[in-house]
Chain A
Amino acid sequence: MRRGLFIAAVLVQALVLVAWSASLEWELAGAERIRLEVVQRDPRDLLRGDYVSLQYVIADIPLETIAGGRPDYGDRVWVTLRLQDNVYALAAASRAPVTPGPGQRVIVGRVQSLSNTSGRPEVHLVYGIERLYVPEGRSGLPRGRVEAEIALAEGARPFLTRVFVDGRPYPSKAR
């Protein structure tokens, strides 16, 4: 009986990993791709893998832009994007889910910090797309205009799929 329970618990572990991976594949398969402009990147090395840290133009949002009042740390914010010079840029933000207009997209982020830059209150959002894992030794983006290809899945949840430097995929051998 105990052995049976243990085997069941182990199978649950394996099933969770498989189901999680499968659900992510499913979401990515049906997700629309957009591009966002990247303004800052700080390559870092960690034991579990080299990755490139990305920061987005849409990460820092003026507080007055956010409809629904001042958010708290960890609160979700729905950011409406519109196409501008081949990348999607900030159009509006809200503390409640919104329906995008024609040509618009919505991405959901979480408040990480609140700051007062040059006397203007700002909110820093994280979207869960701030890391690009690269093969060992390939961290360190070359100079150039950096754009990230994001897959927007159900519920405005974003996934980072590729990064481009001056229009070329990085790292050069695509996954």
Chain B
Amino acid sequence: MPSFTRRLRQETLGWVRDGVVTAQQVEAILARYPESGRWFQRPSAIFSILGGALVVMAIALVIAHNWAEIPRWAKLAGVLTLLLGSYAGGLFLRARDRGLVGEGLFVLAGGLLLLGIALIGQLYNLAGRESDAVLLWWALLIPAAYALPSIALIVLGWCGASVWFCMFVLDRTTWLGRDVYANATLGAVAFGAAGVLVWAIGSLHGDGEFHRARRLIEQLGLLTILVAMVPLGFLKQLGGWWIVGASMRLPAAVLILLALAAVAVGVAWLRFPPDRPIIRAGLAASLLLVIVYLLVVTLKLVQQTPESVYHMLGWTNWAILLVMALALILCGARWDRSAWINWGVIWIGVDAVARYVELVGTMLQASALFAATGVFVLALGGALELLRRRVTAKVAVLRASA
């Protein structure tokens, strides 16, 4: 995607041609927005992040060495000094227009916070749930990340939240892990619900100063939904051990997670870009469709219904993935969110491969399915191209009349 400056340069050619601005005015406008290059193309950004991470690892090893000669309070004071010093250094560099290098110090500080928590665990021989330590870490990190804001800390915080969620689901002593342990399919349901929740939270960031965070978190959500939905499409094939667990009680934790995801979608809908109500509602509805599907899977598992029901749910899974992918592509095209378009295409591709592996019905039946879907997608591409030409023509007419 071209940078803002490059797009501005392209657009201003038309402005001069149409007499909106003069060539001198264009030069003055462009001078205010010098081409800075993507942040990751600058060596300083990459090296500062890497350097920060390496220093964190070095300090981690010093802590791991566990010097018995150093008193407890001295170890803790050392880590705290480094923590506060890193934050202060990052703020200092940011104030002197060296923000990218400062991000490296923020990464260092974020890592030191985790090391501080690990150090206390070491000093007092604490052997509780490790997911609790990760929870404390990202819960403390996220407010600082958003307060500044620091994109590096936001990414680090959300990585921590992702790791925490995986640990939380896989630990059978947690309220969610307990439900998942009773039936492994609920693990996929939990991740699907979490994916929708994360996507919705990402969407809430809007297009302002947190637009980069929005893009990253939305993509994390979309990836999680995909990773959860694909194995659910194989419910029938995976056999009895996947479907039937111990005597199933109502998985309250999973249901609460689904409810949270549904509420989050409702709230995120309010932050969608302005557009026709049916378009906005359509995207929200496709996400709610995922939630409803996950709810049905959960309830069917509790009721331990016959395997034929899972065959039907497999078909539904395929259809929902396609609907969701199309919604992402259409809304991504309308709202200039290229990541959604990319993910929509990926979803269709992964769905196609999954169905090919599954071999729906006979080979001939699967061939008919692929042919029908392929024709539909080609027709969709044609429709999108027509839409683009219509919009471009409308803009040209408006210019000419002005």
Partners in one complex: yes
Contact B76 A136 (CB under 8 A): no
Contact B91 A17 (CB under 8 A): no
Q: Does A57 contact B (CB under 8 A)?
A: no
| Residues of A41-82 whose CB lies within 8 A of B | 46-50, 72-74
How many residues in A have their beta carbons less than 8 Å from beta carbons of B? 46
Take A50-B66, A74-B177 as given contacts and tell me if A6 and B125 are in contact as well, using a CB distance cutoff of 8 Å.
no
Query: Considering the chains assembled together, what is the distance between the CA atoms of A114 and B123 in angstroms?
Result: 31
Contact A14 B80 (CB under 8 A): yes
Query: Considering the chains assembled together, what is the distance between the CA atoms of A18 and B67 in angstroms?
Result: 20
| Residues of B85-118 whose CB lies within 8 A of A | 87, 91, 109, 113, 116-118
Interface of A is mostly: mixed
The interface stretch among A32-40, A85-93, A97-105, A123-131 is A123-131
Closest to B209 in A: A2
> For residue A134, which residues in chain B have a CB less than 8 angstroms away from its CB?
66
Query: Considering the chains assembled together, what is the distance between the CA atoms of A13 and B141 in angstroms?
Result: 8
Query: Considering the chains assembled together, what is the distance between the CA atoms of A26 and B124 in angstroms?
Result: 12
> For residue A128, which residues in chain B have a CB less than 8 angstroms away from its CB?
126-128
Query: Considering the chains assembled together, what is the distance between the CA atoms of A16 and B177 in angstroms?
Result: 27
Q: Does B61 contact A (CB under 8 A)?
A: yes
Q: Does B148 contact A (CB under 8 A)?
A: yes
Closest to B136 in A: A16
The interface stretch among B167-175, B292-300, B393-401 is B167-175
Please pick, from B68, B83, B123, the residue contacting A135 in the complex, using a CB distance under 8 A: B68
Please pick, from B91, B116, B120, B149, the residue contacting A24 in the complex, using a CB distance under 8 A: B120
Query: Considering the chains assembled together, what is the distance between the CA atoms of A112 and B63 in angstroms?
Result: 29
Take A74-B175, A136-B66 as given contacts and tell me if A6 and B147 are in contact as well, using a CB distance cutoff of 8 Å.
yes
Take A2-B148, A133-B122 as given contacts and tell me if A12 and B140 are in contact as well, using a CB distance cutoff of 8 Å.
yes
Q: Does B181 contact A (CB under 8 A)?
A: yes
Q: Does A96 contact B (CB under 8 A)?
A: no
| Residues of A116-143 whose CB lies within 8 A of B | 126, 128-136
Contact A135 B178 (CB under 8 A): no
- Give, as a whole number of angstroms, the nearest-CB distance from A76 to chain B: 10
Contact B143 A74 (CB under 8 A): no
> For residue A171, which residues in chain B have a CB less than 8 angstroms away from its CB?
68
Contact with B along A133-175 (1 / 0, CB 8 A): 1111000000000000000000000011100000000010101
- Give, as a whole number of angstroms, the nearest-CB distance from B346 to chain A: 34
Question: Using a CB–CB distance below 8 Å, which chain A residues touch chain B?
Answer: 2-3, 5-10, 12-14, 16-18, 20-21, 24, 28, 46-50, 72-74, 110-113, 126, 128-136, 159-161, 171, 173, 175
Q: List 15 A-B contacts (CB under 8 A).
A: A2-B149, A14-B83, A16-B136, A17-B116, A18-B80, A20-B120, A47-B60, A50-B64, A112-B173, A131-B126, A133-B123, A135-B65, A136-B64, A136-B65, A160-B125
Pick the 10 closest A-B CB pairs, nearest first: A74-B173, A9-B144, A5-B147, A6-B147, A131-B127, A49-B64, A160-B125, A6-B148, A130-B127, A133-B122
Question: Using a CB–CB distance below 8 Å, which chain B residues touch chain A?
Answer: 60-61, 63-68, 72, 76, 79-80, 83-84, 87, 91, 109, 113, 116-118, 120, 122-128, 136, 140-141, 143-144, 147-149, 172-175, 177-178, 181
Known A28-B124, A175-B68; further 16 A-B contacts with Cβ < 8 A: A2-B148, A12-B144, A13-B83, A21-B76, A24-B120, A47-B61, A48-B64, A50-B64, A74-B172, A74-B178, A110-B173, A128-B126, A131-B125, A133-B123, A133-B125, A135-B66
